[in-house]
A and B are shown apart, each in its own frame.
Chain A
Amino acid sequence: MQTQALPAAAPAARTLRLRGIAILLAAAVLIGLVPYLGSYAIRVVDSVLIYTLLGIGLNLVVGYAGLLDLGFVAFYAVGAYSYALLASPQFGIHLPFLLVLPIGAGLGACFGILLGIPVLRLRGDYLAVVTLGFGEIIRVLLNNADALTNGPQGVIGIDRARVFGIALSRPVDFFWVLLVACLVCGTLVYRLERSLLGQAWAAIREDQDAARGVGINTTRAKLAAFAISAAIGGLAGVIFAAFQRYVSPDSFSLNESILIVLIIVIGGVGNIFGVLLGAVVLVLLPELLREFAAYRMLVLGLVMATLIVLRPQGLLPRNLGPGELLSLLRGRRRGSR
């Protein structure tokens, strides 16, 4: 879709710019309202943001590199347990929150590469199953390595997170932390998608063999996707552990991995705004239908299957993402890079 910014379209450009600004203003207003909500409502928003962060990470691998990772929760767990073990009475180590953030992300990336190296030569279906197996292995290890992780009882009494001396204790504190994390990671992922690496991922998605044929080192490109997405997962885990101040293997089941996949599938594959939408749906729907809580998994599973059959690209198509918003702000309709 080639755009020509026609000189005669100056008025049209202004309208588009206004539209973009309006969207930004609306978002700012919504964000500004959050601290005034009740404690429970803020917790819900926090939940949405954590899932959005996880979704942003997984979207990198699924939506951009086109690899179905069904064990994503493993990186989430790695991050969470890294904070749990480095900032709690468990081993008597009490590293500060801001220090563990990069450690958790880094550990996640390491595990991502560890998983990626053997797995990347596999075809889509095999890759999905192996990543699923990997997620399960991590869960079993966490559940049974009692000496290290306290097994099924989990780690309790995790340190309260402190940022520049301010203790993060209320849900609204974590709202700001999560918001910043989402914005930072979202921007990073967006820039990645528009970069040469992102183009390489798109080519790999289209035709991996032809991509190799034109000189793209597909293994390295896919490994990069794995590592970065795992790092984001680890980051989310650290924040989660600091928030809940309690981790146990139960939070990191296979179902969680599938739920995160669901977020992407519902919201829109390959689209950061879609991830947000998916997280909103995934968290809000059960909240609104509280009486039907028991039916949550059933409905989600059916929704997933139905959506895939009827609208496989999700609610928000790939090209209605941040790029579109930026184009609006620049006064162009649908700008190519």
Chain B
Amino acid sequence: MTGLVLQQCVNALTIGAIYALIALGYTMVYGVMRLINFVHGEMFMLGAYVSLGLLLLAGHGAGGAGPLLVAGIMVLVFLIVGGAGVTIERVAYKPLRNSTRLAPMLSALGLSLALQAAVQLVCGPAPITFPSVLPSERLEFAGASMTLTQLGILVLAMLLMGGLQLFVGRSRLGVVVRAVSENARTAALLGINVDRAISLIFLLGPGLGALAGLLYASYYGVMTPTMGVVIGLKAFTAAILGGIGSIPGAMLGGLLLGALEVLGTSLLPIVTHGYLGTEYRDIFAFAALIVVLLFRPSGLLGEQVSEETMVYKSDY
């Protein structure tokens, strides 16, 4: 019994860590620009596709890449997709900074569609197998097993998130980013180059999302052009759950959502005597989103969001 529970915990942690990585991108962008970056899911998807492309270039499309190569590819993917994120911000969001609040969202939607279509055109709509980039040995303990891939994902995710938290909390650039997210206009008046700070955020967020895509694809072994849509939504839920705008919140939210999903889908058939099955997995995230937004829109660690702030954004 404990073995089963532990196993579910391991699974929950793994998927939770991936959600957390993606959620970070949402939360960072939202924290600064009060904008839900709909294209973020596509950054996740691009991460997987670009990684495979790089792997193919290196001649390891079927697996067997050494750790050094994998690390190198990770850095490259981070930079490439992060660069794409920066470009997208410059081209599709920056001109709309003074427009209505709906406009950047619609722009993001259009780009999201276009990116999915572009990848579909180039690589075909069918799922493509992704080689595992981490060794597949299993560790057995207390009746549960954990593959090295899962362990790798957990460790990597923790490292990345810790690194981001340190960066934002301690480094000078991090302070700049935080200042801009608090109040961009004042930051600009104080001589901070707001545009550069925003570009940095759009490098980090999508970059992390891309790495999450790489990890996800190597965990599940498959990728499709539309994988970013639903996952993106779930990661957004995670960000809201933990408190949008809060980096520790995104981490907590991701893990929580992973736990919720795994727990829910394993309990659901039992509770409903097999009537409702695991196909309803996706609904958990959406239902959680609605529930959170209804009863505690500030999430777990977010700032207290009064109805004033929620409903009308005032410019100072």
Contacts and interface: CB of A to CB of B under 8 A. Distances in A.
Interface in A30-50: none
A308 B114 contact: no
B289 A129 contact: yes
A136 B312 contact: no
B8 interface: no
Contacts of B101: 124-125
Given A301-B111, A303-B110, A209 B283 contact: no
Interface string B101-117: 11101111111111111
A265 interface: yes
B294 interface: yes
B95 interface: yes
A25 interface: no
A294 B91 CA distance: 25
Interface string A283-298: 0000000000011111
Contacts of B112: 301
A137 B110 contact: no
Contact of B286 (A124, A137, A255, A303): A137
A304 B106 contact: yes
Interface residues of B, number: 54
B76 interface: no
B293 A126 contact: yes
Contact of B307 (A121, A296, A305): A121
Nearest to B275: A147
Q: Is the interface of A mostly helix, strand, loop or mixed?
A: helix
Contact of B117 (A62, A136, A254, A297): A297
B286 A265 contact: no
Contacts of B310: 121-123, 126
Nearest to B234: A133
A39 to B, nearest CB: 30
B272 interface: no
A312 B111 contact: no
Contacts of A188: none
Contacts of A304: 106-107, 109-110, 113-114
Nearest to A125: B36
A279 interface: no
B25 interface: no
A258 interface: yes
A179 interface: no
B56 interface: no
B99 interface: yes
Interface string B286-315: 110110011001000000000110111100
A132 B233 contact: yes
A251 interface: no
Contacts of A262: 110
B312 A265 contact: no
A149 to B, nearest CB: 13
A258 B113 CA distance: 9
A255 B110 CA distance: 11
Nearest to B91: A309
Nearest to A302: B114
Nearest to A308: B107
A118 interface: yes
B140 interface: no
A118 B290 CA distance: 8
A128 B105 contact: yes
Contact of B283 (A140, A298, A301, A303): A140
A208 interface: yes
Contacts of A134: 286, 290
Interface in B266-287: 277, 279-280, 282-283, 285-287
A113 B35 CA distance: 26
A261 B30 CA distance: 23
A298 B56 CA distance: 25
A136 B286 contact: yes
Contact of A302 (B110, B237, B290): B110
Contacts of A216: none
Contact of B99 (A125, A261, A312): A312
A144 interface: yes
Interface in A127-147: 128-130, 132-134, 136-137, 140-141, 143-144
Given A129-B236, A312-B103, 13 more contacts: A119-B290, A124-B101, A124-B102, A125-B35, A130-B289, A137-B286, A137-B287, A261-B106, A300-B110, A301-B112, A301-B113, A305-B111, A309-B92
19 contacts: A118-B293, A121-B311, A122-B297, A122-B310, A125-B34, A128-B36, A128-B102, A133-B233, A133-B237, A133-B290, A144-B279, A297-B114, A298-B117, A300-B110, A301-B109, A302-B111, A304-B109, A308-B103, A309-B107
Interface of B: 30, 34-36, 91-92, 95-96, 99-103, 105-118, 120-121, 229-230, 233, 236-237, 240, 277, 279-280, 282-283, 285-287, 289-290, 293-294, 297, 307-308, 310-313
Counting from the closest, the 7 A-B pairs by CB-CB distance are A304-B110, A301-B114, A301-B113, A305-B110, A297-B117, A298-B117, A133-B286
Interface of A: 62, 66, 68, 70, 118-119, 121-126, 128-130, 132-134, 136-137, 140-141, 143-144, 207-209, 254-255, 258, 261-262, 265, 294-298, 300-309, 312
